Amino acid sequence: MYLVTNFWHPSTSLIIEALSDGKPKSSMEIARLTGMKNSAVWAALGRCWQKNLILRSKVQLMVCHNNFKGRNGLTKNLRLYHLYLLKTGSSDSLVVGNQEFSSYRRSDYPLPLPESKASCIFNFIKSNSRRAYFSTEIVKALSRNEVKPSDIMSNVRRWERKGLVFVRGYRLDDRQTPFKEGYLITWLDPLVAREEAIKNAVEKTEKSLLASETTNPTIQRVHRVRDIIIESSRLRELVSYSYIWGSLGCSKYEGEAAIQRSLQLYPDLKEVKLFDAFRYFYHESLNGYDLSAAKIMKEDYVRLTKGKANRVGHNWEAASEWFIDKFTTGAHFWVQNHRTQRMDPRRITIHLFKNVGGRKRNAEVDRVWDVTPSIFSPSITYVLSCKWGIIFKRDIDDFFDVLRWSKEFGVDTPDGREIKQSVVGVFAGSAFNPNESIKLKDESSIGLSSYAARMNIQLLKASDFNNKLQQKGCPLTVSVQRICKISRDEKQVREIIDDIWNNQKKSEQVLSTAAENNRKVYELEKLLENPENNSNAVCELAT
């Protein structure tokens, strides 16, 4: 047995005492016998082994441990560990059972000095001198070396003072602040002329900034505005204010400030107003012929999208929705998020397996709602399509093809593509052609309503809604058609019908007030129909 001398570490005596019975033991067993912490046991075993006081197994043992975690159940983990044995003779190796034990040899186990965190960071920046890195990227790359975010800049600032690294952030008048991903850091080559080294460092940081959104937000928006206008001019098109604002993804005030600043900084960006109301932009590289053609095309588009027919058509959708929601028990409307906030979330985009009427892959339906008659009955899905004007057979056929070829409402049958049995199409029109008749195979003729019923499509007419208003007590002069023509948008349609429905005696007053408030809207629509009758009074409305 070994004699414990005074110059030994106290834990060494405990280790030797625990192994004095001559049996191999693991570090966990020694910790249990000595009462020391696991970290202290591992350190003491390393010292004893290096002093050749104990022997260690050459091969690690692998044991699967089952740990019962209560409500969390049983967990299993594979543990690798060595066995230790007290050295009692001069032999450097010993075999106990099937396990071979050996003493420590410095040549077999060299102990290199661990690399400091500062050295890891410095060597990383120097070895990757071809590009610039954000401080957060350096932390991720050196996570194995336990480098923390607080370790980066405390060391980098020292090397910056020595002229070895270049650091870049937001440059303000009196200070510099980090980007969203941290400071940009790159290597400054001391073997190159100082001016050339700084120039190369700035170029490397510029490349890193191009791939990220880390510049000042205002400057970033100004650059984005210029890129959008140049891109549209290359395509020989004008770009609208609303498109630029939507692409920037900012508030209306920020978008206006970015556009105005872009026009100030870049004189080659030009602005033009169509009908003295709608703002469009282009680059001066657009030649005169292409500019004139682009103006004509945009004027036609504005007439189509901002004209009276487009406004009244959308108002008719809102009116149909109001009556359906009012007189349908348990109606649950579908909603869908769109790329633009101007589009009603109740207007649904569906997917097509086949192109229908010029539509490719996608089509829009005005409203979709579900109705569940009872808990024992399956729900029925109603799909609404609205059209302002006279409805013909081709409109019904087009709506039927959209439903049966859609992914959501169509189904494959032995007889071909059909509409699902639980889906009912609803077509709302201001008026249907009463003179149109459809010939059947037996040479007989049926009306448009009977033809739609055979296809399981319900028809809703403006007269159906007017009857509901008259039954409520509204005068004959108050009609859905008049409400749609007077209202400014879909929201006002719902508000007017609500007011009329709740107070029938003031229905005429409500419509007169709305017509007076929307006078500028009607003047703008007249201007679009007859652009030669220009009027500056409508500019405020359009903007």
> How does 406-425 read in b/e, with b if 16+ C-beta sit within 10 Å?
bebbbeeeeeeebbeeebbb
Contact between 78 and 62 (Cβ < 8 Å): yes
Tell me how far apart the alpha carbons of residues 505 and 137 are, in angstroms, rounded to a whole number.
70
Q: Residue 112 has what pLDDT? A: 57
Q: Residue 281 has what pLDDT? A: 93
Q: Residue 213 has what pLDDT? A: 53
Tell me how far apart the alpha carbons of residues 61 and 37 are, in angstroms, rounded to a whole number.
21
Local mean pLDDT, 10-residue blocks, the chain (543 residues) = 51 86 87 88 86 86 77 76 85 82 70 74 90 90 86 89 87 74 88 88 83 64 87 88 83 86 88 80 89 83 69 84 85 82 80 85 88 82 85 86 90 88 86 77 80 84 88 88 87 89 87 86 70 44 42
Tell me how far apart the alpha carbons of residues 535 and 275 are, in angstroms, rounded to a whole number.
9
| Spacing of C-alpha 479 from chain mean position | 43
Q: Residue 1 has what pLDDT? A: 40
Q: Residue 114 has what pLDDT? A: 66
Tell me how far apart the alpha carbons of residues 93 and 103 are, in angstroms, rounded to a whole number.
6
Q: The whole model's pTM is what?
A: 0.47
**What are the start-end ranges of the H helices in 235-287?**
241-248, 252-265
Compute the C-alpha angle 459/464/467, nearest 5°: 170
- Which of 102, 124, 77 has the alpha carbon at shortest distance from 24? 102
Give all domains of the chain, ordered by start, each with its CATH number.
Answer: 10-102 (1.10.10.10), 117-210 (1.10.10.10), 217-302 (1.10.10), 309-529 (3.40.1350)
